[in-house]
Amino acid sequence: MKNLKLSGQKAGGERTVVEVGGLRIGEDFVVIAGPCAVETEDQLIRTAIAVKEAGATMLRGGAFKPRTSPYAFQGLGLKGLKILDKARRETGLPIVTEVIDTRDVSWVGEYADVLQIGARNMQNFSLLREAGKSGRPILLKRGMYSTLEEWLNCAEYILAEGNPNVILCERGIRSFETFTRNTLDLSIVPSAKSMSHLPVFVDPSHGTGVLGLIEPMSLAAVASGADGLEIEVHIDPSSALSDKDQQLSPEAFSRLMRKLAVMRKTMAELAGDSFL
Ligand code: PEP
Ligand code: MN
């Protein structure tokens, strides 16, 4: 892969650590959890408290939703960001939220600890440049039709603006399969980590769109070497205004977190594989 001047592997194999509110992303395993969209203060705060209790270390929630239909719920905008800010103050969890418009990057960045650039905007080059200029850590989703090389070049756009804090996130790609919403490409995790020093996350919620697949794919993501996960959790999934079928209940999320702890312990043992 040519011209990955800043995103490509460093000579000594050194890996990037992105510092967010006391977390060292890339070193600490981080689970970002929360609803697809911020809907009401009550919904977000109750979800935030529940995911924190279960062990999540960052909170997600979209205030600007990139929806297939212009008539679908588009997010609360500024009101949503204010609710996220309140949830951060109440729980201490840093906030990840998506920005979809170049004109919004700087002011949304004042509310967000991490700005998310979604799959549909991965190659929005002016948005990437603004994200780079903002200096905020960026969670860069993989585009649903994008190769590893295209994805890393998009990270390169952000890094080239002088912002070193980029986290990659696999969220499934389009394939001929229709049983799942997307085809979660876990082989991209060790691939991206072999080509780049940036942390790599996995989003099994958008990656599968199927409730029953989120737990096994989360465990598999850990086995593939992911540095963290982004998972949709809603206090009452059946009432969700977007992505209702893929949001975990707090109980299911809590069970998943307990299994993840076992998986991570096993992976740590395998890393020091002298006993084999
Ligand atoms: C999201 O995480 O809210 C989202 C819209 O994801 P993606 O861009 O991966 O579809
Ligand atoms: Mn969603």
Whether 11 maps to a domain, the answer reads no
Average pLDDT, the chain: 97
Whether 3 maps to a domain, the answer reads no
Specify the pTM.
Answer: 0.98
Q: Is the pLDDT of residue 185 over 90?
A: yes
More confident residue, 271 or 135: 135
Which pair of structure tokens corresponds to residue 90?
A: 């109440």
Residue 204 CB less than 6 A away from ligand 1: no
Q: Is the pLDDT of residue 120 over 70?
A: yes
In tens, the pLDDT along 24-63 reads 999 999 999 999 999 999 999 999 999 999 999 999 999 9
Domain span including residue 26:
17-271
Strands 18-20 and 200-202: unpaired
pLDDT band at 276 (very low <50, low <70, confident <90, very high): low
Q: Say how many Å lie between the CA of residue 231 and the centre of ligand 2.
A: 9
Neighbouring residues of 48: CB distance < 8 A, sequence distance ≥ 6: 34, 59, 87, 90, 91, 93
Residue 119 CB less than 6 A away from ligand 1: yes
Whether 23 maps to a domain, the answer reads yes
Residue 98 CB less than 6 A away from ligand 1: yes
At 51, which CATH number? 3.20.20.70
* Nearest ligand (C-alpha, residue 36): 2
pLDDT band at 274 (very low <50, low <70, confident <90, very high): low
Q: Say how many Å lie between the CA of residue 61 and the centre of ligand 2.
A: 9
Residue 206 CB less than 6 A away from ligand 1: yes
In tens, the pLDDT along 236-249 reads 999 999 999 999 99
Whether 130 maps to a domain, the answer reads yes
Residue 141 CB less than 6 A away from ligand 1: yes
Check residue 273 and give its pLDDT.
Answer: 72
Which pair of structure tokens corresponds to residue 261?
A: 């702890």
Question: Can you tell me the mean pLDDT for 174-184?
Answer: 98
Whether 261 maps to a domain, the answer reads yes
Neighbouring residues of 137: CB distance < 8 A, sequence distance ≥ 6: 18, 20, 25, 113, 114, 115, 165, 166, 167
Whether 239 maps to a domain, the answer reads yes
Residue 142 CB less than 6 A away from ligand 1: no
pLDDT band at 272 (very low <50, low <70, confident <90, very high): confident
* Nearest ligand (C-alpha, residue 114): 1
Whether 111 maps to a domain, the answer reads yes
Q: Say how many Å lie between the CA of residue 68 and the centre of ligand 2.
A: 12
Whether 148 maps to a domain, the answer reads yes
Check residue 271 and give its pLDDT.
Answer: 87
Q: Which of 69, 74, 141, 202, when mutated, tests ligand 1's pocket best, judged by the most ligand atoms within 8 Å of its CB?
A: 141
Residue 144 CB less than 6 A away from ligand 1: no
Q: Is the pLDDT of residue 130 over 90?
A: yes
As for how many domains the chain has, the answer is 1
Cα–Cα distance measured from residue 91 to residue 45, given in angstroms and rounded to the nearest whole number? 8
Q: Say how many Å lie between the CA of residue 172 and the centre of ligand 2.
A: 13
Question: Can you tell me the mean pLDDT for 83-108?
Answer: 98
Helix 211-223 crosses helix 250-271 at what angle (to 10 degrees)?
Answer: 20
In tens, the pLDDT along 70-90 reads 999 999 999 999 999 999 999
Q: Is the pLDDT of residue 119 over 90?
A: yes
In tens, the pLDDT along 187-215 reads 999 999 999 999 999 999 999 999 999 99
**Atom 10 of ligand 1 has which residue's CA nearest to it?**
119
